[in-house]
Amino acid sequence: MYQIPDLEISVHLAAAAQSEGALLLDIRESVERLSGYPRNSVHAPMSQGFGQCMEQIPRDRDVLILCAAGVRSLHAAVAFRDSGYALAKSVAGGMHAWRALQLPISVDGEDEPALGERYSRHWRLSEVGVEGQRRLLASRVLLVGAGGLGSPIALYLAAAGVGFIRIVDDDRIERSNLQRQVIHRDADIGIKKVTSARAALISLNPEVEIEALDKRLTEDNVDALVAGCDVVIDGADNFPTRYLINAACCRARTPWVYGAVQRFEGQVSVFAPHREPGVAPCYRCLFAEAPGAGEAPNCAEAGVLGVLPGIIGLIQANEVLKLLLGIGDPLIGRLQCFDGLSGRFREVSFRADPDCPDCGAHGAGAAAGVMADWPCTL
């Protein structure tokens, strides 16, 4: 870009000039203005060009052009100068500098400033946008477990703005947890996991509602805990809990996201009983029966690489967001397996069992699946 004398104006001089009648032109996109814009500015998004805008502005008018940081506005100021606007200038530092000086800002709704700043990167995604973010804020999820998998899931769902997160766990924090359960801190040892998790999530994003329930998921309470939730997430570490989740979600026709880790391996899948019965397989279609004693030791017995629950938990969180937003291709009928030692992923496809006692058409009889939950063959 070639040099033009006096092409820039400082933000405080721009504000003074505006108060004396200069036109302040905000060329940011609509999504950027949701977090606030200079009071009495005129919106002319750069992506739409300036032809129509120039037709309505006299050539002898003082035109001050503002973007986010002052880069786009420099290019726009050159375009205006080339079109005969000798007094056109770029506001140095843009909206960032305007905010830093605490100059007057207007917003299009009381809740928009915080939303625009916190979720601006979501709003720039055409698959999410403003409406998608509002959908996340209105969503309700149940997270079973605040441990290795539950930690990254909870942190990223709260950061993403999932409006209501119900966490169920009855364990206390032990020092051995801290190698992988990153939502907790050393100072939290001995307190309830749900208490620690709730404090961490509210500190991260006070806009979301966290319901921390110090209890174990049981046959007596599972239906009530699933009720009213849009998605259920498995952060548990045992088979009985997963079968409880599966049966309850089949009854409620609520989708749920499964994850499991052991040693250096992990796996993720999505079960979607909200879809047409008999089409989307459930957990029992995949794992007809829990393995026998000793066939699938837990992490306390077999060990787990500390980073592995983070990898698997974030894949689960990604699947949750896809389900809540209605985008992408969820892992329905697909078991995604990850080998941490080789760094390779592999998928195993599976189908619904028509005789599955949880989701089958007849609701009775043993499932025909023969896959074992562990080990995950890669």
Please determine, for residue 169, whether its predicted confidence score (pLDDT) is greater than 90: yes
Is 367 within a domain?
Answer: no
Amino acid 94 reads: G
Q: Are 257 and 323 in contact (CB under 8 A)?
A: yes
For residue 221, which phi and psi values (nearest 5 degrees)?
A: -115, -5
Are residues 152 and 39 part of one domain?
Answer: no
Relative to beta strand 63-66, strand 105-106 is: unpaired
Query: Is 299 a known active-site residue?
Result: yes
Rounded distance between C-alpha atoms, residue 198 and residue 166, angstroms: 10
Q: In this predicted model, what pLDDT tens digit does every residue of 28-50 receive, in sequence order?
A: 988 788 778 999 999 999 998 98
- Is residue 116 in a domain? no
Q: Is the pLDDT of residue 180 over 90?
A: yes
Residues 133 and 34 reside in one and the same domain: no
Overall domain count for the chain: 2
Which pLDDT belongs to residue 2? 47
* 92, part of any domain: yes
Q: Check whether residue 226 and residue 308 sit in a common domain.
A: yes
Please choose, from the candidates 223, 355, 358, 373, the residue with its C-alpha nearest in 3D space to the C-alpha of residue 297.
373
Residue 369 falls within a domain, yes or no? no
Question: Average pLDDT in the 82-105 region?
Answer: 93
- Other C-beta atoms closer than 10 Å to the C-beta of 170 total 13
Residues 191 and 158 both lie in one domain? yes
pLDDT at 114: 57
In the structure, what pLDDT confidence band is assigned to residue 1 with cuts at 50, 70 and 90?
Answer: very low
- Give the whole-angstrom CA distance, residue 241 versus residue 222: 9
* pLDDT value for 371: 36
pLDDT of residue 294: 61
User: Would you state the structure tokens that stand for residue 43, as one six-digit string?
Assistant: 């919106």
Q: Do residues 102 and 201 both lie within one domain?
A: no
Residue 26 sits in a domain whose CATH number is: 3.40.250.10
DSSP state letters, 37-77:
EETT-EE--GGG-SHHHHHTS-TTS-EEEE-SSSSHHHHHH
> Residue 145 is part of a domain; what is its CATH number?
3.40.50.720
More confident site: 34 or 309? 309
Q: Is the pLDDT of residue 368 over 50?
A: no
Q: Per-residue DSSP letters for 361-375? A: SS--S-------SSS
Domain assignment present for 355: no
Which position among 53, 250, 299, 337 bears the catalytic label?
A: 299
320 and 284 both lie in a single domain: yes
What would the mean pLDDT of 87-116 be, rounded to a whole number?
A: 81
Which pLDDT value is given to residue 360?
A: 79
Q: Is 328 left (phi over 0), alpha (psi -120 to 50) or beta?
A: left
Structural domain contains residue 376: no
Closest alpha carbon to 305 in 179, 166, 162, 212:
179
> Does residue 213 register a pLDDT over 60?
yes
Residue 243 shares a structural domain with residue 197: yes
Residue 277 has pLDDT above 70, yes or no: no
The domain boundary, picked from 109, 136, 158, lies at 109
Q: Give the global pTM.
A: 0.71
Cis amide leading into 5 (omega within 30): no
Gap between the Cα atoms of 364 and 334, Å rounded: 24
**104, 128: one domain:** no
Which range marks the domain in which residue 301 is found?
123-349
Nearest to 359 by CA among 233, 243, 251, 221: 251
Q: How many other CB atoms are found less than 10 A from the CB of residue 368?
A: 12
359 assigned to some structural domain: no
Q: Facing residues of 234 across strands?
A: 144
Q: How confident is the model over 218-232, as a mean pLDDT? A: 96
Q: Does 209 reside within a domain? A: yes
Domain stop point among 57, 81, 109 = 109
Whether residue 315 has pLDDT greater than 50: yes
Mean pLDDT score across all residues of the chain: 88
pLDDT band at 126; cut points 50, 70, 90: confident
If asked whether residues 77 and 180 sit together in one domain, one would say no
pLDDT at 201: 96
Quick one: 104 and 142 in the same domain?
no
Taking the alpha carbons at both ends of the chain, their separation in whole angstroms is 54
| 105 and 183 both lie in a single domain | no
Residue of 117 and 200 predicted with greater confidence: 200
Q: What is the pLDDT of residue 369?
A: 34
With a CB cutoff of 8 Å and minimum separation 6, the contacts of 349 are 333, 334, 335
Percent of the chain with pLDDT over 90: 70
Residue 193 has pLDDT above 70, yes or no: yes
Q: pLDDT tens across 348-363, in order?
A: 999 988 888 888 776 5
157 and 98 share a domain? no
